[in-house]
Each structure stands twice: as C-alpha cells, then as structure tokens.
Amino acid sequence: MAALRNADKVEQQTVSFFEGVASLARSELTPILQQIDDGEIFPDKAMRRFGEIGAWSAHADLRDTIGGISAIAEVCGATAFMAWCQDTLVWYILNSDNAALKAKFLDRAESGQLLGGTGLSNPMKSFFGIEKLKLKGRRVDGGYIVRGALPWVSNLGPDHLFGTIFELEDGSDKVMFLVDCADPAVTLTPCQPFLAMDGTGTYGVQLRDVFIPDDQVLAASAMPFVKKIRAGFILMQMGMGLGLVRDCIELMQGVKPALAHVNCYLPQQPEDFAAVLAELEGATMRLAATPFDTSNAYWREVVEPRLRAGDAAVAAAHAAMLHCGARGYLKSHAAQRRLREAYFVAIVTPATKQLRKMLADNAREHPGET
C-alpha cells in the first residue's frame, strides 16, 4: 500500500478514494469473511454499499478503480473478484456507443443498485484459438435471438446483468451484449463447490432462445469494441493480485516477532515481495493512465504484468503459508485462504497458460517489436 500511496501519479484524491474503499472493506467484509469463503454468504449488501460510496463509478481514472479493487483484495479475494466483475460490467456500459443502453443501465450499475459481471472467458479464449464461441444468435425485428450456455459467470443473482459475446449463425460477425438474468429464458444453475470463490454468486448460465433487444447491445460488431475495452479488462484484474500480495506481506511481517529467528532461513522474505509489489504497482498505474492505447507494444506491456501478478500472488501466498506455519494451516487462518484465492488470480481468464500463449503468439506475429 505504501508503494501505491507513493506512486508519482497518485494524488491526494486517489488516496482518499483508496482509504474509503479500504475502510468499508474492513468494516463490511471482516465479520463475514469466513461465511463468504465457505459460500454461505453472497455479500450483495456489501457490494451495494461499495456502490453507494462510488467504488463502481471511478472509471474516469482507471487507477482509482484498480486501487479500489486492490483495497478490497487486501481483505477478501472473493469480494475483490466480484468487484472486478462489477467494475468490468460498468466498463462495458461506459464504453458502449449505444445511448439507449447507457441511459437504461449506467447509473444503476455505477451506484450498485444493479449488480452483475462478465461472461467473456469463453470469447477471450476463442479469440486466441483456445476454444470455440459457445453462444450463437440471429437478427430479428428489434434485436437478436441468442442461445447457448456458459459454464461459469460470477456476481450473479436472479435480477443481475452480465456482458458477453455471441456469434451470428451465418458466421458474419460477433455481437457483444448484456444478458438480463431476470429473463425467463435465462437459467442460472449453481456450480459444484470450488476450492475458493464459493461466495461469488457463480453460476452456469443457459440461454434458451433469449430475445436480446437492441437496447441491450453493447456493440453490434464486437471486435473493435473488444479492442477498446481489453486493456482495462486486464488491468483491473491487477487489483486482485496487488491486494492479495499486499496482505501476504502483512501476514509474513505479522509473524516476525514470534518466528523471525527461524523464518529468516526461508528463501523468500516479505521484503522480496514488497519489491515485486512496488514494481507491479508502478507498471499497473503507468499503464492504467492510457487504457485506450491500441498499439501492439502497449498490449504486450499490459499482458506481461498480468502474467506476473498471477505468479506473484501464488508465490506470495505460498511464502505466507511457510512463514505462518501451523497457525496458517488452521482453517480459520487467512494464510490458507489467501493461498486458495491466489490460484484463482492465476487461473481466471486470461489464465497463466493463455497469457503465455498470447505473448508467444504476439512475438511470432510482431517479431522485433517491443
């Protein structure tokens, strides 16, 4: 957090935004952390409270948005993921050219009255040749009819909303749109228990010939829109990793008084992670100042720290486990929860393997470019 506070471009206003979100995260989430982790509570009340203090409406400067997600991630990885889902939904709506869609949804999504997320894992994997698009649609009067199923979409509930992409049946184009979970032709099926993230309102979603009216179309030609939103999509995920690493450093520091005499033999110390954290924060904040840069060099620069954030989250959580020892092995201790949450930073789309593929493909397609 110190590095984030000291970063050149972080002004007073940013710090107070960060502190506001951090303070609410501590007061709203700490008492229910265990239940969120166990999947007994979906913290929708907290998500709405964050909206009330402006946590979902800070996209004019993405550095604020990322700082906010990181403040939540210091306390709870599951809620930080939901924060990313909500911020990403707002990011889609905000960047759409569809005035009717914006008028209908933007205020409510920014204020947290309307909760939701994004179903872009399958489309993102399809763009990089990893799997086929799962949703198909066709044009009808006033909108589209869409069918297909997505295996996991988070921050959902009966009246929530999420953005995703379908392909026209004739293969001529792809359309990015919002799904309204209240539509009777949309079915949400609870997922089997996960290693962590059970409190994130994650469902399998089936669309059975759902009518998508034109005021739910984010972009009738999805690919140029994806190019516009993709850097923000990935940079906001950095908040999840940064906050988690920050807390792992705190956990390691916290056991120093009792265990420094033996923990000093461990190969990775909190100071090592503090250096990695400062570097990742610096890169993230610099890149987040220009999220609409569409150059190849910028895209590579965005993908690289995202890959490193997944690695750093897992490494820091692993080190926190070793530093905390038996106390960290208790089911009630944060260290083991952070380890389970850290793996999610590394496997949520774009997963570590996808990021590595993206960098390898990019180097092949743009040799010599940095």
Query: Binders of ligand FAD among 334-363, rule CB under 6 A?
Result: 347-349, 351, 354
Dihedrals phi, psi of 289, to nearest 5 degrees: -75, -20
Among 22, 36, 80, 197, binds ligand FAD (CB under 6 A): 197
Closer of 70 and 202 to ligand FAD (Cβ): 202
Q: Cβ 327 to ligand FAD, closest distance in Å?
A: 27
Among 117, 199, 270, 310, binds ligand FAD (CB under 6 A): 117
The span from the first CA to the last CA of the chain, in angstroms, equals 30
Could you tell me which of 273, 247, 249, 243 has the C-alpha nearest to residue 345?
A: 243
Q: Which structure tokens are listed for 352?
A: 């570590």
Q: Which of the ranges 30-38, 169-177, 196-204, 255-263 carries the binding residues for ligand FAD, by CB under 6 A?
A: 196-204
3-state secondary structure of 167: strand
Q: Per rule CB under 6 A, is residue 118 in the interface with ligand FAD?
A: yes
Query: Binders of ligand FAD among 145-164, rule CB under 6 A?
Result: 151-154
d(CA 215, CA 69): 29
Q: Cβ 226 to ligand FAD, closest distance in Å?
A: 13
Q: Per rule CB under 6 A, is residue 98 in the interface with ligand FAD?
A: no
Q: Which of the ranges 115-123, 246-254, 255-263, 294-302 carries the binding residues for ligand FAD, by CB under 6 A?
A: 115-123
d(CA 347, CA 357): 14
Could you tell me which of 174, 101, 169 has the C-alpha nearest to residue 138?
A: 169
d(CA 181, CA 68): 26
Closer of 94 and 149 to ligand FAD (Cβ): 149
Q: Cβ 127 to ligand FAD, closest distance in Å?
A: 13
Could you tell me which of 242, 236, 200 has the C-alpha nearest to residue 46?
A: 200
Q: Cβ 78 to ligand FAD, closest distance in Å?
A: 9
Q: What is the CB neighbour count within 10 angstroms for residue 260?
A: 13
Could you tell me which of 129, 87, 110 has the C-alpha nearest to residue 236?
A: 87
Among 57, 86, 121, 237, binds ligand FAD (CB under 6 A): 121
Please give the size of the binding site for ligand FAD, defined by CB under 6 A. 20
Q: Which residue is nearest to ligand FAD (CB)?
A: 121
Cα 59 → chain centroid: 14
Binding site for ligand FAD (CB under 6 A): 85, 117-121, 131, 151-154, 194, 197, 200, 202, 347-349, 351, 354
